[in-house]
A and B are shown apart, each in its own frame.
Chain A
Amino acid sequence: MNEQEYCKKVQEVFEFLLSSSCHIHDDTLYHKLLDSLNGKMIIPEFAESCGVIDFLQRAGNNTDISPDTLVFAVQLVEKLVSKLELPGIHLENMSVLIETVALRTSVDNLSVFCALFTTMTTILQCPCIKEFCLNIDFQDILKKSFDILKEERSIFLSRAVSEFICSLFSSKMAESQEAKKLLKELQTIIVNFDRDGSQRVLSPSMLCSLRVLEKAPHLFNDSFAEILDVLIILMKIGSTQSSTTAARCLHSLCLQCQDRAKSERVKSLVTEAIETVDIVKGLHIAKVLYPLQLLERSSLENTILEPLQMLDKTNHSPAMHSSLPAVSLSLTIVNDCNIQKLEACKCVAEVLKMTENRPDDFTGSGCYSFTGSSKLQIKCLDYLGSYTSKEVMLSVISSISNIVSYTTEHMIYGKCLLCLCRLLPEVLCSSCYSSERSTVKSDLSKIKESVQRNFCSVEWEFRDTSCEFVRNLMDKHKDKEGVIQWMLDSRFHVFACQAVGDGESYVRATSLSTLQTVLLSSYRTNLLQDMNTTIDEIISQILDVCKTDSEAFPRRSAARLLHHCLLDLSYLLHPDSIQCIAQCFSTSLPSDFDWEVKLIVVEFWCAILKRCFDADLDKETSDQPLGIVVSLDCLKNEKDGKRGYVSISSAINVLLKLSCDYDPSVSERVCQELCWICETLEKFVLKISSATNDDNRSDWCVCAHCSQLITELLNRMTEGKEKTRNDSVFKTDYDSNAVSLLDDILLLDRSQDNNDEDNAIDCY
């Protein structure tokens, strides 16, 4: 369809949208149309020829227009004004639409007004804003926006208006008389704030005023003292949200303050306020201020850690129970603000210790309201997983050993293991570990038992997390002999790899990934010995998973494992195993239902080809990396009597087949890969006829079959490039054919339908 036809269809759609019969229930169609038009409106003339300008002009005058279409029109204005340099006349039309909507539409149409203020917010930042505003009564729009705020309507609308007002003061319109007038009103709202404490939750207008203050504090210099007074009161008596908003405003105010005395006054008042307010509110304020530079961090840290430092496990009075929210919040802030200091770490470790027993355990060192609290445990473990000082390391290990032995929440179990994984190297190297009196050995032994048990847990999440733990240990500490030895002694690797036959697919997948990590490490011999098996037996088991497992996750992991085994461990494999893997990647896996498995197949064959080509480019390294990749009959001749297992032509055949895969992700990826394969093949094969004396290329075959294969490869690659250039592939239907979207919208136009379905009688 040419441009003219397209424009005609767009105009038809606009006609339909403007008609009173327009009922589009699926608003995604509006969004898709908006995106489609946005992509095509590159020049203003196109907008004109499509009838967009006309549509916007008529939309403003049409009183029957549906609210959804009006929203669409307003959003279209936003796209056009922000994207195109529109001529003055078009801009005027759009201003008129905006003004009409703003001043004549009922505010009850919340979606229309939300769209309007969002559009205005964007337009405020456009270069043409002054021109745009020339044609509208900006004063009235500002008044309307302020009225909406005061009326406290929908939260979404209030937010959109608030954004608009904030944006105003950072735009070119900030200096306008209208803006200055509005600013005064905002200042008045803050200054006249009810200070007796009755207004604990802030009104939208107050919130908006504070947002403006936070973003542009310099505009409020005139009434610094009064505003400071209000903000401090807000911090003290307001709700948590008010207090934190006030804290942010105070920070802004202080930042722009040139006068040192004023700045110091702000700081001292804030410090005093934090000390005055209740502990939870103080924590909220500290959380806001910590990343900012308003107060000294050390003093804020004291505030943040105070609830944790107050805990005294030997003297737990009932009053302590009330501090649970404070402790919880304090831990959240320690995590959020990433306070990685010894003092904080000690406190967190202490809290973890207090939570370490079962909730119903009264026999331990006492019962607290924290005992067994999973919420606190998660927060503590989050922190200790990222930072643990040496001083508390053993205490943390002890707590972990207790928690993992009883926890029924796999999240906590997983976090314990993550934390343990981080601490293990230091713990095992510490002098305490070798000390006879230390309890760390028994703690680690307890952990070992718990992890072993959880490998066999009834809940698959525990089994999965345990396998993941082994993989983490191998990944992160493969060079740390002590850690690996501890793991091997605990037989975790055996448990993890035995889970290949687990009943839950996620566990099988994780087990296979762990098996891959272990096999590719230098500890594979330990695994094979401990499992009393050979690598070929394992490969055979994995091949079974690839072919028979009903779930995609294990097949993906199995394919990945085979991929790496063949590339990196081929020298250990029996020729039959290599043959089976190659066959699996040639026949079974390319027809897998899962697209990710097919992507692994693509990666596999690309890696094989790359090695083959690299080896040929550098004869010195050809023997080792090439290894298995010696073709039998095609493309590459048999060399030095070496018999190969993986044929290059079969690799290319698989890739060619996958280039036509029904899944766009697979075909796209193959087409990308074909480019470099073709380029390399051209280098090796196609030039053979013109350079027959070149020894380096003498082993490449140029038989008719190979030539045909290469020609097909080139054709496919050209086809792929063409498609990519046209941007017509790998997209959804609507993306690839914008007209179909228009047709779909027009189909909703019931007035064109000759069959009067309303007259049909529904029997049922």
Chain B
Amino acid sequence: ISQVLKFLPLSVVPKSDNYDKKWNHSDKEKDKILGDELKEVAGSVFVDGSLEFCAPEFGMTTLSEVDAILLSNHNTMLALPYVTEYSGFKGTVYCTEPTQQIGRQYMEELVTYVERNPRNKKCSKWKSDAILSSLPTFLREAIRPTAWRECYTKHDIQACLSRVQTVGYNEKRNIYGALIITACSSGYSIGSCNWTIKSPYQKICYISGTSTLTTHPKPMDTEPLRQSDLIIVSSMTKTPGYNPDQMIGEFCMNTVVTIKNGGNVLVPCYPSGMIFDLFECLSSHLDSCGLTTVPLYFLSPVSDSSLAYSNIYAEWLSGSKQSRVYLPEPPFPHAELVSIGRLRQYLNIHDGLQNDFKSPCIVFAGHPSLRMGDVVHFIELWGKSTGNTILFTEPDFPYLEALAPFQPLQMKVCYCPIDTGLSFSQANKLMRDLKPGHLVVAESYVQPPSNLSHKTDMVVDYDPPPLTYKRGEILTLPIKRQFETVEITPNLAKNVSPVEVKPGCMVSMVTAALNIKDNKYTLELLPDGHLSGKKRRADGSLIREKSYIWGSLNIQSFVDALTRQGITDIKVEDTEDGSIIDLPNDDTLIQVEGASTHIICNGEEIVRTKIRDTLLRCLQKL
């Protein structure tokens, strides 16, 4: 979604004068082609058209052949309608119920923002290679702009969600008989999960958006992730240089400083997730600083459902939050804040906000990209005053780029990104604990982040070294399905006479038909017509029935048997690995070792045959 930063913001209250300055290309020809697609604000160039979004790259795989999509959390769901509605996908989407609901809220909020204040002009001339290469860096570095699409619709969201099947934590789901998938808590957000994908003999875990910190969601469940052949780790923290604990402290501190100085605080945010922690920590800090009367305004088209849903998902929350339900109290303190009127939620700025508005205050509004939503209005309103502060807590967007179209900006800017995702040290510790056979991570995780190149400890470190993947690359996982479980029908089993070759291990010959259905293998009796008792090769020639010998040779019995065959003067010599039997009269040496027997016979063929037959008689047969 970060490509929306290339566009001008969608003003809630249309004011064209802000973004009115056309950007002129130095090349007159190109400038003519471009028309007024690009605008210049404070030295930066933006696309003055309807917002476009980067859909998943469908070229990598044939989505119509994909059977299932596993969603880890609501953050990974925004592009789902593009997949389910525009790619030929026919499979099923699996996720937890909160992920589905919160994902729906995120998508609905996005669509509302885009549709509420539409910019109907579609700009595509700037995307042509000839022009793009001559544009300022900010636009030039856009990735595959021609593949960008307009936002999906609410109808798409509905259709998409109808393909979703919800699962509970640790609930086993069978995928066409081939695999069993299970979701287990990942501790990152309400309903977020890690996936285990199991076949009878292999286990792969997909760890994405995971947190080992204690916040509001149910803590991470590591037990199902153990004894994996392979673990794929993705969506670690986006801000490895920032400690979430410190950042939330900074957030609270900067908010209070601004309020105490008489200013207002603007917090661009998503409608769910971290915002619940922000409400809780901030209100408690405001209390401790004696600012109990400062109002908190929460603006989002889904603010009502977001606050309401958060308090009904008790079983998806941390232990402390769950225990509040039994008191009975709402699990989140924001319910109380709402009831006493300290936290007020509005669908948008026209939803009665002007009647209640009291300054100084703290406003939480979307969208964190600052390209749409009510936050745009508040930046335009408060941006000119040095007393106000905008506080960035969502790590998804580079804050300086997000602010670029609003420059020059007088309001104070604070960047306190709070990302509870796995840090490198936490990930390494977790992997040391889980001990997977192989680890697969993105290529960027095995080298320090580009902005912290001196931090050599900020890498995923594992033995064996992790396998890496990068964009556009297909990686073959070092895991093969070598074995399958095969069932035998009772009728067939009746005819089988297994022989115990070693304690607990029985062997038998069987001739049967292998039936494969829904990835289940069954051995059945051969159909009547095929029970000829003779096996044939593909060319029709008969295969001679042969028996399989097994077991270890008893030297004394063998010698006795040879004696019975008339061979005399047998000498037995014990060696390190077995025995050597010397038959001097027949000029023959028999070397018997653990796994092999050699008969070196220089005598007559008849002797060799005699020895061979005697030997075979001394061994067991199947």
Contacts and interface: CB of A to CB of B under 8 A. Distances in A.
Interface of A: 362, 452-458, 460, 463, 491, 494-495, 498-504
- Dominant secondary structure of chain B at its interface with chain A: helix
A456 B256 contact: yes
Contacts of A491: 261
B253 A501 contact: no
Contacts of B290: 498-503
A687 to B, nearest CB: 54
12 contacts: A452-B261, A454-B253, A456-B253, A457-B253, A458-B249, A458-B285, A463-B289, A498-B290, A499-B289, A500-B290, A501-B290, A502-B288
Nearest to A507: B288
A503 B260 contact: no
B131 to A, nearest CB: 38
Nearest to B261: A491
Given A458-B249, A458-B252, A458-B253, A498 B260 contact: yes
B360 to A, nearest CB: 13
B257 interface: yes
Contacts, number: 49
A456 B287 contact: no
B257 A503 contact: no
Interface string B132-145: 00000000000000
B494 to A, nearest CB: 67
B292 interface: yes
Contacts of B454: 362
Nearest to B249: A458
Contacts of A455: 256-257, 260
Contacts of A499: 289-290
A-B complex: 4 closest residue pairs judged by Cβ atoms: A501-B290, A503-B288, A456-B256, A458-B249
A754 B163 CA distance: 88
A638 B257 CA distance: 51
Interface residues of B, number: 17
B185 interface: no
B253 A494 contact: no
Interface of B: 249, 252-257, 260-261, 285, 287-292, 454
Between A453, A455, A456, A499, the greatest number of chain B beta carbons within 10 A of the residue's beta carbon is seen for A456
A503 B289 contact: yes
A504 B260 contact: no
Nearest to A408: B246
A625 B261 CA distance: 39
A460 B288 contact: yes
A456 B292 contact: no
A256 B545 CA distance: 117
Contacts of A463: 289
Given A362-B454, A452-B257, A491-B261, A503 B287 contact: yes
Contact of A453 (B254, B285, B287): B254
Contact of A495 (B252, B260, B292): B260
B249 A456 contact: no
B303 to A, nearest CB: 26
A283 B523 CA distance: 87
A453 B260 contact: no
Contact of B288 (A454, A495, A504): A504
Given A501-B292, A502-B288, 8 more contacts: A456-B254, A456-B255, A456-B257, A456-B285, A457-B249, A499-B290, A501-B289, A503-B290
Contacts of B254: 453, 456
A453 B289 CA distance: 12
A744 B77 CA distance: 78
Contacts of A503: 287-290
A423 B536 CA distance: 104
B415 to A, nearest CB: 14
**A458, A494, A503, most chain B CB atoms within 10 A:** A458
A502 B292 CA distance: 10
Nearest to B241: A360
A709 B458 CA distance: 80
A500 B290 CA distance: 7
A502 B289 contact: yes
A456 B289 CA distance: 7
A495 to B, nearest CB: 6
Nearest to B285: A458
A502 B284 CA distance: 11
A449 to B, nearest CB: 8
A493 to B, nearest CB: 12
A452 B260 CA distance: 9
Contacts of A452: 257, 260-261
B490 to A, nearest CB: 64
A696 to B, nearest CB: 51
A494 B260 contact: yes
A256 B360 CA distance: 76
A452 B289 CA distance: 13
A455 B258 CA distance: 11
Nearest to A494: B260
Contacts of B261: 452, 491
A453 B256 CA distance: 8
Residue from the set A453, A457, A504 with the largest chain B CB neighbour count within 10 Å = A457
Contacts of A495: 260
Contacts of A460: 288
A528 to B, nearest CB: 16
A453 B260 CA distance: 10
Contacts of A494: 260
Nearest to B254: A453
B288 A453 contact: no
